[in-house]
Chain A
Amino acid sequence: EVQLVQSGAEVKKPGESLKISCKGSGYSFTSYWIGWVRQMPGKGLEWMGIIYPGDSDTRYSPSFQGQVTISADKSISTAYLQWSSLKASDTAMYYCVKAPTAMVEADYWGQGTLVTVSS
């Protein structure tokens, strides 16, 4: 059974750094893309970027380029999304997804990680 298990909710202050994780199981982690999707409170979905853990090929949506960093550690089947300096506007639910190709179609979703940034 394919599973994507994300790390728990986080409460941070503006300016702090953060790295959240997504562990894949039940499939060949290095053979499929892992993407990240943001959903701000009461709002719609937004593609952030994707990574191919097999060779770390990473692509970002123009809106998120330079704002976050996506990485993966294939030895532990885990992908990461990180911020170096959080803003209040980063408050959102973040989902990791498994995608068969780089064409951003997500066939499995993680449970989501709620990130709250508040002073």
Chain B
Amino acid sequence: QSALTQPPSASGSPGQSVTISCTGTSSDVGGYNYVSWYQQHPGKAPKLMIYEVSKRPSGVPDRFSGSKSGNTASLTVSGLQAEDEADYYCSSYAGSNNFGVFGTGTKVTVL
């Protein structure tokens, strides 16, 4: 099972928006509505930001939103803030045989 493809980096100025893509196949992203996104600051454990493609857990700012079209999922961070600078990983369920797969990760820099 290959990792989902994410751009290595993305950036934006404070207040701007940044969108991160996560491309898989019809066997994972395109086949299930179980795409989640995680934020990881250096030296810390990841944190769930989006689940089931577009749902936000309690406590996650509504600046974070998720969507999916075909085999590509996206995470958008609106109104960028300094604390949003982190690595972001997508994840998708890939069926009972292939289990689950993470994306390659994207480093978001707030300029």
- Tell me, rounded to whole Å, the shortest Cβ–Cβ distance linking A54 to chain B: 18
Q: Which residue of A has the minimal Cβ distance to B3?
A: A44
**B residues less than 8 Å from A111 (CB atoms):** 45
A44 contacts B89, CB within 8 Å? yes
Interface flags for B57-93 (1: CB within 8 Å of A; 0: not) read: 1000000000000000000000000000000010101
Which A residues from 40 to 68 make CB contacts under 8 A with B? 44-47, 49, 59-63
**A residues less than 8 Å from B89 (CB atoms):** 44-45
B46 contacts A109, CB within 8 Å? yes
A104 contacts B91, CB within 8 Å? yes
Tell which of A44, A95, A103 touches B45, judged by Cβ atoms closer than 8 Å: A95
B96 contacts A59, CB within 8 Å? yes
Secondary structure of the A contact surface, majority rule: loop
B99 contacts A105, CB within 8 Å? no
- Asked if B24 is at the interface (CB within 8 A of a chain A CB), the reply is no
A49 to B100, CA, bound (A): 9
Q: Which residue of A has the minimal Cβ distance to B103?
A: A44
A104 contacts B105, CB within 8 Å? no
**A residues less than 8 Å from B102 (CB atoms):** 44-47
B100 contacts A109, CB within 8 Å? no
**A residues less than 8 Å from B98 (CB atoms):** 61-62
- Asked if A117 is at the interface (CB within 8 A of a chain B CB), the reply is no
Q: Which residue of B has the minimal Cβ distance to A104?
A: B100
Instruction: Spell out A's residues near B (CB within 8 Å).
Output: 37, 44-47, 49, 59-63, 95, 103-112
Jot down 18 A-B pairs with beta carbons below 8 A, ordered by A: A45-B105, A47-B100, A61-B98, A61-B100, A62-B97, A62-B98, A95-B46, A103-B100, A104-B34, A104-B36, A104-B91, A104-B93, A105-B51, A105-B93, A106-B36, A106-B46, A107-B48, A109-B47
